[in-house]
Amino acid sequence: MGTLRGKLLPPALAIVFSALLCGIALVISGANPLTAFGAMLTQVGEGTTLVDVVNSTGIYYIAALAVAIGFQMNLFNIGVEGQYRVAAVTAAVFGGSVTLPPGLHALAILVVAAVAGALWAAVPAILKVTRGVNEVISTIMMNGIALGLAAYLIRADVFGELRGNNIRTPEIPSTGWVPGISFGSSGTVFGLVLLAALLGVGYWIMMNRTRFGFELRASGESSTAAAAGGISAKKMVLIAMLLSGAIAGLVAMPEILGRDHTYNLNFPGGIGFSGIAIALLGRNHPGGIALGALLWAFLDKSGLALDNVGVPREIVTIMQGAIVLSVVVAYEVVRRVELAAEQRRVGRQTGTAEPVGGAA
Amino acid sequence: MSTTSTNPSTAPLTVPPAKRKRKLPGWSTAMIGVAGAIVLLSTTSYLTGFPQLTSTGTWQTALRLALPILLAGLGGLWAERAGVVNIGLEGMMIMGTWGAAWAGYQWGPWAALVSAAVFGALGGLLHAIATVTFGVNHIVSGVAINLLGAGLTKYLSTLIFYPLSNNPRESPAVPKFDTYSAAGLSDWLGDLEAQQRVGISDVAGILRGITTGVSPLTMIAIVLVPATFLVLWRTRFGLRLRSCGENPVAAESLGVNVYLYKYTAVIISGALAGIGGAALVLNPGQPGYLEGQTGGRGYIGLAAMIFGNWRPGGLLGGAALFGYVDGLQLRSGGKTVLALFYGAVLLLAVIVVVQLVRKKWFSAAFAIVGAAILYFVYFSLDELPSELTAYAPHLVTLVVLAVASQRLRAPAADGVIYRRGQGD
């Protein structure tokens, strides 16, 4: 089987399958799936939707990159969710309380966010390396604590201030803003979406063209084999987790520096979990992740149109969940089919009988 | 990721320590633990002047809040004993809350219970199909089920609850179970508690809290703990199920249908998580289904199970602790929770003495430092911020994992992808 087909077929199958599934759900609930999907497609041309999709893609892309770095090392960083939240609060508080020249201010905020994310990821990393604590459980716990910590830090008597019904951190002065690319009435693309693209390029270079990337992947494939080659698995776990946390720290920055200029109660949650899904969809490849992020953003933003045709827009979330599950199943099935084909091929060449375990 | 056979969720395990001769049977150790906890709480409440630590109200609330955690944890126990890591408990629990509300407002609490179990079991079935049949990484499937569970319930509530309750995030009110109290006992214990005598009143308060206003669901959940133990550890079925979690290839060689056992375990796991969701909806303090109601309790259930070393008894202890801290916070606020720090200092003091006697200087020093920090927190703060106390279970879990992860022992093949016939 061609490798390209092996790579592209599973996600395509998964998307078609999920769309079918949601179509059936729509029919059962008495709606016309064609109208619904049509409304979603036409929505892209309306108002600010296209720009929203681009912005959202950038944000999801950063989150998925953070998850993907962990995956390369066979680490499950479920904690991206908590890391970007803690980083957002810290960066917003920092940005709102210092005065620095334009440019430098924004840069300093970005650095603070990355450091805060890395520090939050350092806890599970250190626990894993020194005490052998499973990172899945510890990052889940850190997510909970992050929620509490963020809620505490923006209390009016700590760092926050009350504005109307909303509690938020002090506004970051305009020196710390990152200007966007305006498209008039169609909205403004966040300037930091470019940062997402840069991170993607950096990720590709790091993974494929540096010694560190090789060591990371080798260690993720087999830590014992890597250890025999002189690579310390513990060191790799630590670095991968810190790097993942640092990138996760940047997830909320496009929104905070480009539009909100503050961390408030309406801060969007769940991006970390979407990041996991997108990294899986894109198989940790920077290009694949970009497509996955685009799909996610499209579903999110054009799903808003569904309310107009009388369909609850939450069907989009079902679709996203179905895509993740079916894409991993599809990858596995394709892998088994290819393995069986390979076994048959080798069997024919060597003249032995049909090998066992040939069926997928 | 799913292409590699190594699984990140299997933490590096150490070889279990050489078997010491057990002096006491398990139940008596548990009794000593419970007695110790009561003495500790009663001393703390006496020394800090917070009778709420052992009051009826606190314990009643604690029991109600511990139920969902306990049930989710039991769900996790069933799945992981069969070797399937179930991060999807949260999603199955969410499906359970929706199922409970949907059947509950129409046909009453018993229907709610059954429907919640069915909805949870459907989530479990999905997890089983993905992980057992298709060999998908268990964590990946769990994360997907959490996404799916949340999305599905949001969709269904908008579709079905919105016309009835005018709120897409809420169901119509769900009728609750009648509650039962041990009539004469309850009054007598109430008198004892009111006398404010050291020790006796504390025990009376705790006992009254867990015997007053008990719903059938509470009884079912409590009975499920020994039932789980008996089924998993004292029957042929349980032995086979656990063998699938320890060494599926060996189990297969003995003729056990590993797929079937894993499917059964994960479906039961989902049903239990679903009932845990029902426990939230049927809690007398709640009107019915509410979006985001589970608030990560599925994860806490998982933590309670790890806390309890993959054993039902330990799980009960973990759920009780988490429920208790939650209940204390809800009933009497951050000040009282801070008193628990004092209790923890007392506990650490005892540990220090024990470790000194056993000449374990390192752990004694570690405990002294911990006690000093906790005492400093207790001394310097007036009140713990409520935002943070809500996440105390998370913090406790992290500390326990950091301190005791070497002693915890997960089933040997937990999270390992198994395929029939791979062992030859």
Within a domain: B13: no
- Tokens in use for B5? 């056979």
Kindly report the backbone phi and psi dihedral angles of residue B180, in degrees, each rounded to the nearest multiple of 5, phi listed first. -120, 145
Whether the pLDDT of residue A359 is over 50: the answer is: no
Judge whether residue A355 has pLDDT over 70. Answer: no
- Residue B15 lies inside a defined structural domain of this protein: no
The pLDDT, as a whole number, for residue A360 is 43
Looking at residue A358, what is its pLDDT? Answer: 45
Give the mutation candidate from A74, A141, A283 for the B interface (greatest B CB count, under 10 A): A141
**Number of domains chain A is built from:** 2
Quick check: helix, strand or coil at residue B247? coil
Domain of residue B303 covers: 50-179+214-331
CB pairs under 8 A between A and B: 169
Same structural domain for residues A253 and A330?
no
Quote the strand ranges of A173-297, DSSP E: 181-182, 188-189
DSSP A162: E
Do A275 and A184 sit in the same domain of this protein?
yes
pLDDT range class, residue A356, cuts 50, 70, 90 = low
A145 Cβ under 8 Å from any chain B Cβ: yes
Taking each helix axis from N to C end, the angle separating A271-281 and A80-97, rounded to the nearest 10 degrees, works out to: 130
Based on the domain organization, do A56 and A179 belong to the same domain?
yes
Average pLDDT (B117-133) is: 95
Do A264 and A322 lie in one domain? The reply is: no
Backbone dihedral region for residue A132 (phi beyond 0: left; psi -120 to 50: alpha; all else: beta):
left
Q: Which pLDDT belongs to residue B356?
A: 85
Helix (H) / strand (E) containing A163: strand A161-163
How far apart, in whole angstroms, are the C-alpha atoms of residue B320 and residue B64?
10
Phi and psi, residue A197, nearest 5°: -60, -45
**pLDDT grade for A68, boundaries at 50, 70 and 90:** very high
Q: How far apart are CA B205 and CA B198, in angstroms?
A: 11
Nearest to B387 among A128, A148, A315 (CB): A148
| Nearest Cα residue to B307 out of B70, B16, B59 | B70
Q: Return d(Cα B169, Cα B417) in angstroms, integer.
A: 38
The mean of the pLDDT values for chain B is: 84
B162 is written with which tokens? 């919105």
Could you read off the pLDDT of B36-51 as tens digits, one per residue?
A: 888 888 888 777 777 7
Spatial distance between the Cα atoms of B387 and B394, rounded to a whole number of angstroms: 13
pLDDT at residue B275 above 60?
yes
Which structural domain range is residue A80 located in? Answer: 52-310
Between helix B183-194 and helix B56-81 the angle, nearest 10°, is: 120
Alpha carbon distance A33, A24 (integer Å): 8
CB A75 within 8 A of CB A243: no
ipTM of the complex: 0.88
Residue for token pair 């830090």? A153
Q: Is A342 on the interface with B (CB under 8 A)?
A: no
Residue A53 predicted with pLDDT over 90: yes
Domain membership of residue A105 (yes or no) is yes
Does residue B18 lie within any of the structural domains?
no
A115 and A2, same structural domain?
Answer: no
B chain contacts of residue A138, beta-carbon cutoff 8 Å: 398, 401
**CATH number of the domain that residue B106 is part of:** 1.10.3470
Is the pLDDT assigned to residue B1 strictly greater than 60?
Answer: no
- The domain that holds A300 is classified in CATH as 1.10.3470.10
Regarding whether A252 and A329 lie in a shared domain, the answer is no
Interchain proximity B394–A328, CB inside 8 Å:
no
A71 and A150 belong to one structural domain: yes
Q: Are residues A157 and A268 in the same domain?
A: yes
In this structure, what are the phi and psi dihedrals at residue B385, rounded to the nearest 5 degrees? -60, 135
Strand A188-189 relative to strand A161-163: parallel, antiparallel, unpaired? unpaired
Among A60-64, B79-83, B186-190, B311-315, the minimum mean pLDDT is found in: B186-190
Q: Let me know if residue A217 belongs to a domain.
A: yes
Residue of B297, B394, B419, B422 best to disrupt the A interface, most CBs of A under 10 A: B394
Instruction: Give pLDDT tens digits for A177-229.
Output: 888 888 888 888 898 999 999 999 999 999 999 999 999 888 888 888 888 88
Instruction: Kindly state whether residues A304 and A333 are assigned to the same domain.
Output: no
Q: Above pLDDT 70, what percent of chain A?
A: 96
| Number of domains, chain B | 1
In a domain, B22, yes or no: no
Residues whose CB is less than 8 angstroms from the CB of residue B289 and which lie 6 or more positions away in sequence, other chains included: B97, B98, B100, B101, B102, B153, B157, B161, B170, B171, B174, B281
Residue B3: pLDDT over 60: no
CB B275 within 8 A of CB B257: no
Asked if residue B5 has pLDDT above 50, the reply is no
Residue A222 touches chain B, beta carbons under 8 Å: yes
Are the C-beta atoms of B148 and A322 separated by less than 8 Å? yes
Both structure tokens of A226? 């890597």
pLDDT digits (tens, 9 = 90+) for A267-279: 888 899 999 999 9
Segment A39-47 shows an average pLDDT of 86
Does residue B310 form part of some domain?
Answer: yes
Report helix, strand or coil for A315: helix
A199, A283, A282: which is closest to A244 by C-alpha?
A: A199
Note whether A25 and A170 are same-domain residues.
no
A237 chain-B contacts, CB cut-off 8 A = none
E strand residue ranges, B83-220: none
Residue A39 counted as domain residue: no
Model confidence at B170, in pLDDT bands (50, 70, 90)?
A: confident
CB atoms within 10 A of CB B112: 32
Residues B192 and B278: beta-carbon distance below 8 Å: no
State pLDDT tens for residues A296-314. 999 998 888 888 888 888 8
The reply to whether A243 and A137 lie within a common domain is yes
Please tell me the predicted confidence (pLDDT) of residue A354. 53
Please give the single-letter amino acid code of residue A108.
Answer: A
Residue B303 lies in a domain: yes
**Range with the poorest average pLDDT among A153-167, A259-273, B128-142, B302-316:** A153-167
Q: Whole-prediction pTM value?
A: 0.88
- The answer to whether residue A359 neighbours chain B at the CB level (below 8 Å) is no
- Judge if A125 and A4 occupy the same domain: no
Least confident interval from A129-138, B89-98, B115-124:
A129-138
pLDDT for B90 beyond 50: yes
Q: What local confidence, expressed as pLDDT, does residue B424 receive?
A: 58
Do B391 and A280 lie within an 8 Å CB cutoff?
no
Dihedral of CA B327/B329/B333/B334: which sign? positive
> Residue B2: its pLDDT value, please?
40
Residue A81 has pLDDT above 90, yes or no: yes
* Between A66 and B349, residue with greater pLDDT: A66
| pLDDT band at residue A353 under the 50/70/90 scheme | low
